[in-house]
Chains A and B, each alone.
Chain A
Amino acid sequence: MHCRTALEYLECVSPPAAAGDAPRAVDAAEPSEMSAARAHLEECPRCRNAFAAIQKRDREIAAAMRDVFVPDDLRDRLFASLSIAPPASASDDVPEAVVEPTLPGESTSRPAVAAIATPRRRRSIRGWAAAVATAIALCVAVGLWWGNRGPETFATADWHDEAEWTVADIGRLDRFDENFAAFPPAGWSGRIEFTDPYGIEHPTGSARSGRPHLAAIYAFRLGSGASMVSGVVIAIPKSRIADPPTVTRFDPHGGLYPSAGGVTVVAWTEGDLVYVCGVRGGAAQPERLDRALRFDPV
């Protein structure tokens, strides 16, 4: 193996945590290539010295890289911004309380909450009866409202973030439960490679609670290598979209939304479904996809 090639492969070895530690081999190179590089090292003193120097410098850089001061109050401010309490183990002796947000520079040390024993008033039987009656009436009212309300609808824009997000993480979703008829956009099948559909209950991606899926999501791929176009297409029942797009086909000009997170989003309505498509890359990628759908060369 050539000196330069050997050193390139050996760059795949992450720096040891400290002098004397064995370097940690990582999984970039094939084992055979790594073995050949190591064998070269055995027989080439120049590369051996160069590699030792690289390892030493990597160790120093790694230490410097991790040497970042973390503000003392960052943790508390994060918990405050998330409106959650720190884990129980970290606050065993602290009474459970809502964490109040603090401003930068403001002291985050909160005064201890005194356990004030407030005298409890005895509620009379009449009082209990009134409270129970009120609660029942409230439940009935809420039940009637709940039963009469229509299905929740969302804006098309609510799905942009999901399209962007799902491009990277579709594998984390459940398989689509097929509670409504979903299929890839017309004309896409046969030309474009699809996964089986995944399902999601809500455009924020939250609440995996067993509710029926609101949308079916397909990951797709066209071509390979540098010319590959890929992304996800989300199919949502039109009845669940408050503002279905007026565009009726994949149109990189008519239904384009600003690119975010490396994903360009195109939305359109086809029959009873609204499609929100996230295409990896800039605005040129939807153009390529469009050309492919028109049977032009990609």
Chain B
Amino acid sequence: MATTAAGDSRPAVALAGVGRAYGERVALREISFTLARGATVAVFGANGAGKTTLLRILAGLLRPHAGSAHVLGAELPREAYRARGRTGLLGHDPMLYRDLTVRENLRFHARLHRVDQGRADALVAQVGLSARADDPVRTLSRGMTQRAAICRAVLHAPELLLLDEPLANLDPGGAAAVEPLIGRGAGPARVLISHAAERGLAEADHVLGLRGGRQVLWAPAAQVGLADVQGLYA
């Protein structure tokens, strides 16, 4: 199981003027916010606004090109090794090997994270995948693959969850099954990318709005209306 930093008062995320470019194209510029432990920020923005780039920087998979970024007290990228195994990423890609079964995938990740193998089986049962746990991932529906990917993301009990449209492809039953794992009461701090404004606002403590890679909104969720969020997509 990943080591948890119990009593660590440093914020889950602290960004100051973070920027990132792909060659000549600037994907993110001057992003600054602080997210407390256990809190949730909902990130809104149209396609290409920089949401996925932000998530990958926080996951330690992309280097910030400007500003300073701290995740769980570790400065990125210099101390990225300290945050490894303490963040969980659920992106567009399920990060599961298609020719391995759900159980084999989760047990493989459990070994990488030094998590008890029983945890993988328990999660599979919790999300209602026991009957398909020994089927290759390539044979699963998108919804089932998403459930398996959620199990993979929370397998090591991360302190920070990075969620990109976590309920995509899930039916109401599936959404209810994964709620205790990635929902508001799950425990870890969450960075939640969503295009569902109403649901995103209900889930969040803070709202981050991005447009063209720039931070155009940072406010407590209670002070943000649906119209504000919809304006980000205009």
- Mutual binders A and B: no
Which B residues are closer than 8 A to A by beta carbons? Answer: none
